[in-house]
């Protein structure tokens, strides 16, 4: 059977999986028939792991043990302002990990963001395997274009923990452009405006003769639907507090109900002018006094509450267009991607800025996964997309800290990847025998104001006056956007080379342990599923036998050996019922054969009774 590569859109709010079949990409529906699955992971009271719709449905009653929007945490250090903002907003616990990273508490266990993300990726993999009827090991996973190296590394780690070989990390807007242009006669410059559940990206691509070249990209990894929801929740909380002098934030269940209602109202207001939020018994004060929340929300109020968020996306678009030296009149198309682009105000401001109505010919929730599937197929079989070439860019400048704490850029943002760049530096102190290479990513002139990616030391330099010893520093960026750095003493040839790993990333040992634990869980989970299938089969056989038993009793009661046979049958049924009740695999296996023999005997007795001459 030919090897398949799946494309996965690992989203903040929802995730999606697709496969290229023939010349078209197909989004695969989950067991419930939905083509997107909530990016939600929960731990039940019994310690069972829940993923997707089942996790989201129980969030109201288990808010403190239900993790959502984890994509906003992945690859970020504990001290990040974004992490602290999430900590203040979510009901589940966030704690500092052993590498100054983030850990998520569900029940009595601590999980890293890559682990939680791995469970979602594993769910996407399972959906694809069930649809295709074969095991899947390779995938292309999408990330926001503005993700930094640490966030990309953490996403690849999540894939490894999920048992997937992530053969390529691809930027979400680029994937959307691939799906938009694949198999179509598209020429010219295209803007992809991608406003999803937690992140915003804008990319400008030049598409010509099957070549998809990213000209410029920018974004905000902390701007999306979650922020729109929060504005509405804050407005409802403030109104309720003013009316009843009760703070709904003090109750995790009330806040989760409010969040769900706000998200639904936001979605509804994309198609209607006003909607009601009606939450009876939202909170009780403990004095036999229950409160109800009822508010009418208009589209105008939502737009007023969130206007600055939408305007922020337009400002990022303006700066990106200036970076690329492109004017709106130069564009062939503006493509909208992400669920938040359904909001009329977003569409209005986009049309106003670009001077044209945006294209709505792609499904905003599915197109990214489809593009990832197309790229995946092209990577393992050039014949799948023979005329397609993808040229992406690095979203951030890369460089090192030099004397005085300044940031020296070696690779400028919007440089096509893969790429490499070298620069020769000299020692800054007399008799300096080692040099620390501190790697940063960002646009600020001061190194400390940028994102620290990692550091290493090149030692063994010859003692000499400052400025005499030369060190060649080379940056490499892979097609995934992963950074490698090498430093070489040009006099001795001594060299150090690392793939940059963030100081807040998981260690190799931790990744292997998490991957093994996840595999053990999957084996156990599959075994439980097999036991459940067998339990249901035995239960069905028992019901069938019980339905036939009165007729069998009637026929056998008058025969010489009838009573002994019936006593034996009742023992077999009692054992089967007990095995079903206990969900015991060994017991179910033990009762299966005698139960089937009994049922066959029942059918024989009943059939012979029907044809017996009168």
For residue 484, the model assigns a pLDDT of: 84
Dihedral pair phi/psi, residue 92, rounded to 5°:
-85, 155
Q: Is the pLDDT of residue 577 over 60?
A: yes
pLDDT tens-digit map of 147-165: 998 899 999 999 999 999 9
Query: Does the annotation count 234 as an active-site position?
Result: no
pLDDT tens-digit map of 255-274: 999 999 999 999 999 999 99
Mean pLDDT of 385-394: 84
**Alpha-carbon distance values, 415 to 141, 323, 420, 467, 477 (Å):** 21, 12, 10, 30, 10
For residue 564, the model assigns a pLDDT of: 74
Output the average pLDDT for the chain. Answer: 89
The reply to whether the predicted model has a pTM over 0.85 is no
pLDDT tens-digit map of 76-118: 999 999 999 999 999 999 999 998 899 999 999 999 999 999 9
For residue 584, the model assigns a pLDDT of: 79
Residue 613, helix vs strand vs coil: coil
Q: Is the pLDDT of residue 612 over 60?
A: no
Pairing, β 470-477 against β 419-426: antiparallel
CA-nearest of 223, 169, 177 to 204 is 177
Pairing, β 49-51 against β 434-441: unpaired
The active-site residue, picked from 4, 71, 259, 345, is 71
Pairing, β 165-171 against β 138-143: parallel
The active-site residue, picked from 101, 115, 123, 194, is 194
Mean pLDDT of 23-51: 93
Strand partners, 94: 104
Query: Does the annotation count 9 as an active-site position?
Result: yes
**32-41, 255-264, 414-423, 604-613: segment of lowest average pLDDT:** 604-613
For residue 140, the model assigns a pLDDT of: 97
Residues of the chain with pLDDT > 70: what percent? 96
Query: Does the annotation count 206 as an active-site position?
Result: no
For residue 614, the model assigns a pLDDT of: 47
**Alpha-carbon distance values, 1 to 132, 134, 197 (Å):** 11, 8, 37
User: Quick check: 394 and 477 in contact, CB under 8 A?
Assistant: yes
User: Quick check: 97 and 77 in contact, CB under 8 A?
Assistant: no
Q: Supply the Cα-derived Rg of the chain in whole angstroms.
A: 30
Residue 110, classified by CB atoms within 10 Å of its CB into exposed (0-12), middle (13-18) or buried (19+), is middle
For residue 38, the model assigns a pLDDT of: 97
Strand partners, 401: 407
Mean pLDDT of 310-333: 95
CA-nearest of 5, 395, 377 to 166 is 5
Q: Measured in whole angstroms, how far is the alpha carbon of residue 408 from the centre of its chain? A: 34
**248-252, 451-455, 469-473, 523-527: segment of lowest average pLDDT:** 523-527
Query: Does the annotation count 71 as an active-site position?
Result: yes
């Amino acid at each position: 059977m030919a090897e398949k590569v799946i494309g996965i859109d690992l989203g903040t709010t929802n995730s999606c999986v697709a496969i290229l079949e023939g010349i078209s990409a197909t989004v695969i529906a989950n067991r419930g028939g939905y083509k997107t699955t909530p990016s939600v992971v929960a731990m039940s009271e019994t310690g069972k792991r829940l993923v997707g719709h089942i996790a989201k449905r129980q969030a109201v009653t288990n808010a403190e043990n239900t993790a959502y929007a984890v994509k906003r945490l992945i690859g970020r250090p504990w001290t990040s302002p974004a992490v602290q903002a999430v900590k203040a907003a979510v009901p589940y616990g966030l704690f500092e990990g052993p590498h100054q990273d983030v850990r998520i508490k569900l029940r009595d266990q601590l999980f890293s963001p890559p682990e939680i993300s791995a469970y979602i990726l594993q769910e996407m993999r399972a959906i694809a395997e069930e649809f295709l009827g074969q095991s899947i090991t390779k995938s292309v996973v999408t990330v926001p274009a503005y993700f930094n190296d640490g966030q990309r590394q953490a996403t690849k780690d999540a894939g490894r923990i999920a048992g997937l070989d992530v053969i390529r990390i691809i930027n979400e807007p680029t994937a959307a452009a691939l799906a938009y242009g694949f198999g179509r006669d598209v020429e010219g410059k295209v803007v992809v405006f991608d406003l999803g559940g937690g992140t915003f990206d804008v990319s400008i691509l030049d598409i010509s003769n099957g070549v998809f070249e990213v000209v410029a990209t920018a974004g905000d990894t902390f701007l999306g639907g979650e922020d729109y929801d929060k504005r509405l929740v804050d407005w409802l909380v403030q109104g309720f507090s003013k009316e009843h002098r009760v703070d709904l934030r003090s109750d995790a269940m009330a806040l989760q109900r409010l969040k769900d209602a706000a998200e639904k109202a936001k979605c509804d207001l994309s198609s209607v002018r006003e909607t009601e939020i009606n939450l009876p018994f939202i909170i009780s004060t403990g004095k036999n006094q229950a409160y109800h929340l009822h508010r009418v929300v208009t589209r105008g109020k939502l737009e007023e509450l969130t206007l600055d968020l939408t305007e922020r996306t337009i400002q990022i678009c303006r700066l990106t267009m200036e970076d690329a030296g492109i004017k709106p009149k130069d564009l062939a198309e503006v493509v909208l991607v992400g669920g938040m682009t359904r909001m009329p105000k977003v569409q209005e401001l986009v049309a106003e800025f670009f001077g044209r109505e945006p294209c709505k010919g792609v499904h905003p929730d599915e197109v990214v996964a489809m593009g990832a599937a197309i790229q995946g197929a092209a990577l393992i079989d050039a014949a799948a997309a023979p005329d397609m070439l993808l040229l992406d860019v690095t979203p951030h400048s890369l460089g090192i800290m030099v004397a005085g704490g300044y940031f020296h850029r070696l690779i400028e943002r919007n440089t096509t990847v893969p790429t490499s760049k070298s620069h020769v530096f000299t020692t800054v102190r007399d008799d300096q025998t080692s040099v620390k290479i501190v790697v940063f990513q960002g646009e600020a002139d001061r190194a400390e104001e940028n994102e620290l990616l990692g550091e290493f030391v090149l030692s063994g330099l010859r003692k000499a006056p400052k400025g005499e010893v030369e060190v060649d520093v080379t940056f490499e960026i892979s097609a995934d956007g992963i950074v490698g750095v090498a430093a070489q003493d040009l006099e001795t040839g001594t060299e150090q080379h690392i793939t940059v790993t963030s100081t807040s990333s998981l260690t190799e040992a931790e990744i292997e342990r998490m991957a093994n634990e996840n595999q053990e869980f999957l084996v156990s989970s599959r075994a439980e599923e097999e036991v459940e299938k067998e339990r249901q089969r035995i239960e069905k056989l028992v019901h069938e036998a019980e339905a036939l038993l009165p007729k069998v009793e009637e026929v056998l009661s008058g025969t010489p050996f009838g009573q002994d046979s019936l006593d034996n049958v009742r023992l077999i049924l009692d054992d089967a019922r007990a095995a079903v009740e206990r969900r015991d695999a060994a017991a179910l296996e033990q009762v299966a054969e005698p139960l089937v023999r009994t049922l066959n005997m029942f059918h024989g007795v009943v059939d012979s009774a029907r044809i017996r001459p009168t």
